Structure formats: C-alpha cells, structure tokens
C-alpha cells in the first residue's frame, strides 16, 4: 500500500520513534553509537516514505516496533537496533546491501543481509520442483538456523520481527495468517524458549491459541478473570507479607506477581488431562533479590527458600532447583509452591542477574560474560550454542530431516554423563546407552552390542541418568537394527541408523511393492491409490506409500491379515466441505492437481468435527486431509510444507456423524451408567460406539466413544452429563 503521508502520519512516526530514541539513549555506549541509531532511523524513514502496511499505518512503524523489541525486550545494543530499523530496506526498496555497507559499516550490513535472506526465503512461496523428501519451507528454516553460525543476533532480531508480526496478525489475509501462525508454533516458539526469551515465547503462544483454539482461549481467559476477582486481594496480602518478611531480614528484593498464561494452562490441561481447577500454579510470585557479597547467589536463594517454607506450608513435590543445575538455555531460578488462604502460589526465587537472563535469554547471557559476574547457566548456554553449530556443520543434510532434528533438540532438556575416562558429555533427557554410543562416534554406535553403566552390564536401550558413567561394548560383526529407532532419543543417532538402514535395505521398497501387488492380484484387486491409502491408514503408516512398501519388504508388516484389513471399515470418514483456497501465492501447479472431484478425509490424529477450526493438507494422490488447526501434526505440516496447505470450511449442510470421545469420572453409585446411556440415546439421540468404565474404591473413570454431528453436540453432552449426580468431571478427549 502507498499514499502520501499526512501531517498526522508524520506525527505518529515521530511519536513512535521518540520511545525508541529514549530506550536507545540508555543502551548506547557513547554519543557516536547514539548518532548512528538516529542516522539509521532517518535513512529507513526516507526509504519507506509514503509506504503503508496492511493496517493503513506508515510502514516505518514496523521497523521502529521491531527495534523497540530488540532493545527493550531482548536487550541488544546499538548495531542490532540499527539493523532492526534497516531490516526491510534492501528487500523492499531500491537500496542495496552495498549501500548499507558503505553508510553503516560491515557489521550492520552483515546483520541486515542475514535478515534480508531470511525474509526472502520465508516470503518466497513460488512453487519449485522439490525432491520428494524435501520441502521449500524446510529449506527456508534451515537457512534461518544457519545464521546462528554467522551471528546469533540475526535470529534474535528475526524473533523480534516475528513477534511484531504476531502482534499485528489481525491485519493479514487468512492464507498468510495461517502460514505465519504455523511457522511460529513449530519453530519460532521453541527457538525463543531455547534462547531463554520466555516472555516472547508466552506471548506468541497466546496469540496462536486465540486463532486456533478461540473458544478455549476465551473460556480460560474468563476463568482467570474470575479468579483474580475472587483471589486478587489475597495475592496482594501474600506479596505484602513476603515483602515485609524479607525486608526484616535485611534482604533487598522486589516482588512481581503474575498469572499463568492461557496457553500454558490449556497445554497443561491437555497433556495431564485435568480440568482448570486442578492447575496448581495459576498464580506465581517472583522474588528478585540484589545479591550480597560474601555468599553465592545459590546460597542466598536457599536462604530465602528457608524463610518462605518456614512460614508457609509447601508442596515438596513441586520444588524445582534450577540454581544447582541450570536449564540448558541458562535459566536459573528456585521454584517452590506454597499454600496461602486455600490456594497454591508458585514462588520463584532468583537474583537480578538470574532474572535478566530469564527475561532476555542469550542476549543477557552474553552481556554478563563481558566483564560482569557469570553463573553456571553461562556454561550451559555456551554448550548449547556449540551444539547448534555442530548440527549445522552438514549443509547437505535433507532439509525436512534437518528441521525435525532441530525441532526435537529445541524441545529437550539435558543430562550429563561420563565416559570411562571421566570426560563429560551432554545428552537430551531420556537418552539411552545407544544414544551415548553414537555421540562418541557413529561407528561405535553402529557396532554396539551392550553397555556398562556404572560398571553394571545393561542393554543398549537403558535410559541414562545424570552422572552415569558409561562404557560401550562393541563387536565388528554387529550391525544396526531397525528396532533401535524405537528407543533412540537423539536425532543424530536416529539419523545415523536411518542412513545405515538405507544402505542395508536398498531393494526393500521394490520387494515390498511386488509382494503387495502379488497378494492383491490373488484377490483380483488392482493396486490403486484408494487401496494403498486404506492400507496406509489401517497400518498407521506415517511416511507414505514407500514407507508401506519398505515395511512389507523387511517383514514388519505381515500381509497374512490382508483380507481382514481390506474388509475393515476404517474409522476415517469422508467429510463434505465447501470452498477451499490455496495458501500459496503461485498456485498453478496445485490448481492442476485439484481439478475434478476432490476427496476429503478427516484426520485420524485429531478427529475434527464440525465446529472445530480446521485446515486442509493436500496429499500426493490429490485428496485433502482435514485437521484441527491446533493439531500438532497439522502445525508441523503447515510449518514445513506450507505450499500444500489449503483453507477449508465446514459445509452448512452436513448431516454426517463423526467419531468423538468423552472422558468422565466421578463417584460410583447404583444406576449411574444407566442414566448416562439413557441420556445419550433417549434424550440426546446420540449413537454410541464404545463405553469403557472402570470403578475402584467407589470412584469410577473411563470414556465413551460416540458419533456426533458437530461440536454443538459435544457441548450439549458435556452440559447434560455435568447435571448427573455423581459425575465430577467430563471433557472431550482425543481418540488414541
């Protein structure tokens, strides 16, 4: 959008920049750096003159906002502020990277160039011929992470750019909004978490939830408001009591209170299958103290812990010690959950240095390394950054596999184990002895047959714990086994096994395809797409038809039950839809694939029903699989293969039934099961598929699988069940 700026536009620009100017003044080391920021603003302002964003505001507001996030929320300095102001100039105006270099110097030009390459990659939706195992978006994300090798500030500024895009996402068209939200959930949120930017991570998660689970977000947000109305005064009293207690002990501290975010509450409800009322740490109080000389920060944390637990009852199972062993991203804090006025409050204890690193992550970590006090968390952060560089060393790795590897590593925490000679090695939590073997050398892993952990002989699948000493036993005749993939944790080890198996099973796909064709031929069935798809669904194959053929070829799938599989009515049902829109800007190739009648299928991983917010994924056979947009599988696919995503909507004229699951629990009594089934069949007209109820010690729990027309049916069932005497909890659940 363009249009000559008005006097009001100019006033808005100057007002927005004034906030950045004041923040930069405090951050710049000298007048020369400050002048450079002013120069970068004037340059960017002129370059973007008379250009507007989709919201209608002057475009320069976006670079200013990104620069403010960079300095105020991440804590970067002069060069990063300048790069943020200039980050769209090369891509969107006539200025070149050489122009930036000649005016602002090599370092700022290098940062802008890295950001330009990322922006170009992410905005490039043109369909290109890609290998079957690759993806344009995966290649793009690989480029983003490769910038960590050049200068991690590029990734930090990109996170600031993405955060502002998320804050203004309501102005974006639907196709771009879904693409950005999926990318954000799949890679930018885990990246923000691993880099220690918790506030940015939390805000991105909440915006994602507002668009992908709007009803749940609104419900949880309402619950939080009601809680604050009811318990806000008690929280204030607790803070006042703790403040007085610490001041009386001569501890100089400030106390911050906060509510858990809607997304984090929703996520815990989903993973732990608990209602809102069972979230203990809805409230959190953060004690941030000024460290005293003469004793370590860790000792001072435990002194405050002793005072808190000496006055308030605490839950020993909820103590989290991240000062003795910081998280891999450098996070240090001591957490304890205490009881006050009938509610649980999480208390976080940390020094000013620890808090700076907790809020600003890797940026604060580097600041403290430059001449200021350091902590154990610095070592953890250095170790992780070194690890990232190691996994980026192979530039020819398959992009999708690369992205999955990095995604997994972003989500894991670490343990530390030792070689027989005492050398320390870090591994993701949950790693096995075989993971350790591959971390030493791929050949040791490939020829491993057993291990000794703390001098005791164990299997290769043994899960390691912090401090274990591990020795690997090998044999020259040993070979990799496919079943290793079932317990390997690290992506590098899994990748090595997969590569080795590829060499061992070169003809498996061809063999499996011929075996299947022969068996189908005996039954007079042609090997058509719909038949293959049915088998893929029935055998729960995730890697497509080649994966099916391969597993048949190596004997993991026995075709002896083929008749049964072919006759079984799959739970997956055709879904009648109307109106779809390709999310790729250049959609000619996809449009060709979508000519004629479209086959739609409800995904088996999330079982969407009418009323759920949904998205579609174009399959190789031209059909479209429907997922809930909050489904992790959909988020993965939308982030890595966004050119295959289509926008779909529920038809207003559906009369089909969809399989759903309701979980219930409560106090057992005579006749309660009859009331439940009577409510479903006679009053609600719902068809049952399966009931599984177990009772013990007068408590019952279980689930009901049933066929519904839409989400409204689910809401009616939950509302009706809640009125039955004895039922304590009822909720919708995913079908496994």
The first and second tokens of residue 574, run together, are: 């055709």
pLDDT at 49: 92
More confident residue, 697 or 278: 278
pLDDT at 473 > cutoff 80: yes
Say how many CA atoms lie within 13 Å of 235 toward its Cβ: 21
Closest CA relative to residue 323, chosen from 302, 309, 303, 307: 302
Judge if pTM exceeds 0.75: no
State the pLDDT at residue 513.
87
598-639: per-residue pLDDT in tens? 667 778 778 888 778 888 888 877 778 888 888 888 888 887
**For the chain, what is the largest distance between any 2 Cα atoms, rounded to a whole number of angstroms?**
87
At 166, the pLDDT band (50, 70, 90 cuts) reads: very high
Given a cut of 50, whether residue 128 has pLDDT beyond it is: no
Whether pLDDT at 462 is above 80: yes
pLDDT at 231 over 60: yes
* CB distance 332 to 166 below 8 Å: no
Residue 41, pLDDT > 60, answer yes
From-to residues of CATH 3.30.460.10 in the chain: 214-379
Q: What b/e string do you get for 287-315 counting C-beta neighbours within 10 Å, with b at 16 or more?
A: bbbebeeeeebbebbebbbebbeeebebe
State mean pLDDT over 699-706.
84
- pLDDT for 647 equals 80
Looking at domain 394-504, what is its CATH homologous superfamily? Beta-grasp domain (3.10.20.30)
Domain with CATH 3.30.70.260 in the chain: 658-733
At residue 595, does pLDDT exceed 70?
no
- C-alpha 79/C-alpha 85 separation (Å) is 10
Residue 359 banded pLDDT, cuts 50, 70, 90: confident
| Pairing relationship of beta strands 283-289 and 253-259 according to DSSP bridges | antiparallel
| Minimum mean pLDDT range among 10-24, 112-126, 360-374 | 360-374
Q: What is the pLDDT of residue 373?
A: 45
Burial (Cβ within 10 Å: 0-12, 13-18, ≥19) of residue 702: middle
Catalytic residue IDs: 91-92
Task: Decide: 709 and 657 in contact? Cβ < 8 Å.
Answer: yes
The stretch 706-735 carries a mean pLDDT of 83
Q: Higher pLDDT residue, 100 or 624?
A: 100
C-alpha distances (whole Å) from 670 to each of 77, 662, 673, 723 are: 69, 21, 8, 16
- Give residue-wise pLDDT tens across range 336-351: 999 998 888 999 999 9
The whole-number pLDDT of residue 311 equals 94
Mean pLDDT on 460-467:
88
Average the pLDDT over 118-122 and give the result: 67
Two tokens at 91?
């891509």
Q: What is the mean pLDDT of residues 486-508?
A: 77
Query: What pLDDT, on a 0 to 100 scale, did the predictor assign at position 554?
Result: 73
Share of the chain above pLDDT 70, in %: 80
Structure tokens, 552: 């048949």
Q: At 571, is the pLDDT very low, low, confident or very high (cuts 50, 70, 90)?
A: very low
Each residue of 283-339: pLDDT tens digit? 889 999 999 988 889 999 999 999 999 999 998 888 888 888 777 667 889 999 999
CATH 1.10.240.10 is held by the domain 7-210? no
Q: What's the angle, vertex CA 11, arms to CA 10 and CA 14, rounded to 5?
A: 85
Mean pLDDT of 564-588: 51
Mean pLDDT of all residues in the chain?
80
pLDDT at 99 over 60: yes
Q: CATH 3.10.20.30 spans which residues of the chain? A: 394-504
**Per-residue pLDDT tens digits for 413-439:** 667 788 888 777 778 778 999 999 998
Rounded Cα–Cα distance for residues 676 and 669 (Å): 12
Is pLDDT of 498 > 90?
Answer: no
Give pLDDT, residue 105.
92
| pLDDT at residue 136, rounded to an integer | 57
With a cut of 70, say whether residue 21 has pLDDT above it: yes
| Residue 506 confidence (pLDDT) | 62
**What's the pLDDT score for residue 251?**
93
Residue 318 DSSP symbol: G
Q: CA-to-CA distance for 428 and 430, rounded, in angstroms? A: 6
Pick 723 or 214 by higher pLDDT: 214
Residue 485 has pLDDT above 60, yes or no: yes
User: Which residue, 487, 335, 328, 288, is CA-closest to 414?
Assistant: 328
**Positive or negative torsion for Cα 255, 365, 63, 27:** positive
> What pLDDT score was predicted for residue 252?
93
- Segment 355-362 mean pLDDT: 76
Predicted local confidence at residue 377, as pLDDT: 42
Rounded Cα distance, 289 and 309, in Å: 17
Low-confidence winner among 32-41, 501-510, 617-626, 707-716 (lowest mean pLDDT) = 501-510
Q: Which pLDDT does position 437 carry in this prediction?
A: 93
Distance of CA 572 to the CA centre of its chain: 27
Residues 6+ apart with CB under 8 A from 267: 205
Residue 253 pLDDT level (bands cut at 50, 70, 90): very high
pLDDT digits (tens, 9 = 90+) for 43-87: 999 999 999 988 889 999 999 999 999 988 888 889 999 999 999
Query: Percentage of residues in the chain with pLDDT exceeding 90?
Result: 27
What pLDDT does 104 receive?
94
Q: Report the pLDDT value the prediction gives residue 660, as an integer from 0 to 100.
A: 85
Q: When comparing pLDDT for 506 and 392, which is higher?
A: 506
Q: What is the tally of helices (H) and strands (E) in the chain? A: 29, 19
CATH superfamily of 214-379: Beta Polymerase, domain 2 (3.30.460.10)
Tokens 């403010």: give the residue.
68
Size of the chain in residues: 736
Extract the tokens encoding 425.
Answer: 């090695």
The predicted structure's pLDDT at residue 394 = 47
The token pair at 363 is: 């940026």
**DSSP-assigned states of every residue in 445-469:** HHTEEEEEETTEEE-TTPBP-TT-B
CATH of 658-733, one of 3.30.70.260, 3.40.50.170, 3.30.70.250, 3.40.140.10: 3.30.70.260
Question: Quick one: which of 467, 468, 457, 459 has its CA closest to 487?
Answer: 459
């Amino acid at each position: 959008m363009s249009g000559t700026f008005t006097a009001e536009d100019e006033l808005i620009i100057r007002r927005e920049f004034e906030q950045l100017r004041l923040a930069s003044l405090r951050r710049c080391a000298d007048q020369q750096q400050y002048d450079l920021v002013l120069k970068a603003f004037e340059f960017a302002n002129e370059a973007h003159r008379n250009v507007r964003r989709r919201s209608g505001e002057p475009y320069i507001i976006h670079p200013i906002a990104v620069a403010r996030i960079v300095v105020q929320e991440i804590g970067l300095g002069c060069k990063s502020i300048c790069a943020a102001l200039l980050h769209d100039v090369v891509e969107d105006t006539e200025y070149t990277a050489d122009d930036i270099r000649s005016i602002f110097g090599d370092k700022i030009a290098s940062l802008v160039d890295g950001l330009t390459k990322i922006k170009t990659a992410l905005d490039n939706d043109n369909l290109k011929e890609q290998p079957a195992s690759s993806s344009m978006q995966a290649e793009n994300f690989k480029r983003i992470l490769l910038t960590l090798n050049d200068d991690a500030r590029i990734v930090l500024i990109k996170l600031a750019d993405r955060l502002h895009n998320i804050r203004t996402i309501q102005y974006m068209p639907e196709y771009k909004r879904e693409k950005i939200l999926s990318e954000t959930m799949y890679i930018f949120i885990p990246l923000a978490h691993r880099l220690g930017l918790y506030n940015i991570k939390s805000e991105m998660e909440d915006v994602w939830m507002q668009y992908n689970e709007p009803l749940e977000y609104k419900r949880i947000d309402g619950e939080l408001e009601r809680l604050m109305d009811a318990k806000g005064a008690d929280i204030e009293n607790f803070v006042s009591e703790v403040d007085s207690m610490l001041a009386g002990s001569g501890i100089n501290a400030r106390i911050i209170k906060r509510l858990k975010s809607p997304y984090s509450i929703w996520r815990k409800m989903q993973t732990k299958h608990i209602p809102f009322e069972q979230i203990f740490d809805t409230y959190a109080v953060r004690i941030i103290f000024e460290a005293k000389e003469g004793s370590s920060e860790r000792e001072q944390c435990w002194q405050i812990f002793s005072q808190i637990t000496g006055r308030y009852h605490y839950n020993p199972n909820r103590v989290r010690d991240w000062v003795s062993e910081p998280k891999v991203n450098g996070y240090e804090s001591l957490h304890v959950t205490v009881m006050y006025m009938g509610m649980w409050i999480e208390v976080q204890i940390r020094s000013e240095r620890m808090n700076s690193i907790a809020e600003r992550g890797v940026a604060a970590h580097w600041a403290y390394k430059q001449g200021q006090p350091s902590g154990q968390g610095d070592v953890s952060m250095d170790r992780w950054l070194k690890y990232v560089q190691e996994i980026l060393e192979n530039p020819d790795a398959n992009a999708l596999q690369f992205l999955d590897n990095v995604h997994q590593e972003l989500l894991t925490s670490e343990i530390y184990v030792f070689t027989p000679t005492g050398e320390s090695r870090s591994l993701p939590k949950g790693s096995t002895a075989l993971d350790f073997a591959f971390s030493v050398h791929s050949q040791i892993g490939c020829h491993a047959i057993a291990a000794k952990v703390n001098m005791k002989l164990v299997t290769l699948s043994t899960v390691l714990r912090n401090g274990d000493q591990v020795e690997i036993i090998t044999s020259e005749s040993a070979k990799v086994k496919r079943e290793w993939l079932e317990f390997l944790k690290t992506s590098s080890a899994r990748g090595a096994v997969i590569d080795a198996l590829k060499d061992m099973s070169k003809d498996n796909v061809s063999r499996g395809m011929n075996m299947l064709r022969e068996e189908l031929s005996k039954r007079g069935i042609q090997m058509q797409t719909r038949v293959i798809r049915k088998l893929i669904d029935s055998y729960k194959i995730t890697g497509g038809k080649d994966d099916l053929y391969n597993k048949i070829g190596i004997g993991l799938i026995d075709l002896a039950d083929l008749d049964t599989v072919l006759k079984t009515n799959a739970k997956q049902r055709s879904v009648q839809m109307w109106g779809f829109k390709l999310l790729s800007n250049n959609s000619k190739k996809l449009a060709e694939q979508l000519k004629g009648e479209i086959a739609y299928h409800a995904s088996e991983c999330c079982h969407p029903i009418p009323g759920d917010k949904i998205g579609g994924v174009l399959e190789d056979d031209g059909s479209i699989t429907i997922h809930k947009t909050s489904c992790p599988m959909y988020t993965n696919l939308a982030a890595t293969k966004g050119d295959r995503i289509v926008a779909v909507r529920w038809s207003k004229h559906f009369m089909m039934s969809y399989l759903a699951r309701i979980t219930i629990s409560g106090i057992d009594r005579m006749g309660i099961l009859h009331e439940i089934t009577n409510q479903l069949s006679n009053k609600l007209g719902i068809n049952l598929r399966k009931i599984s109820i177990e009772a013990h010690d007068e408590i019952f729990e279980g689930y009901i699988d049933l066929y519904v027309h839409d989400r409204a049916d689910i809401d009616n069932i939950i509302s009706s069940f809640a009125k039955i005497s004895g039922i304590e909890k009822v909720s919708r659940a995913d079908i496994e």
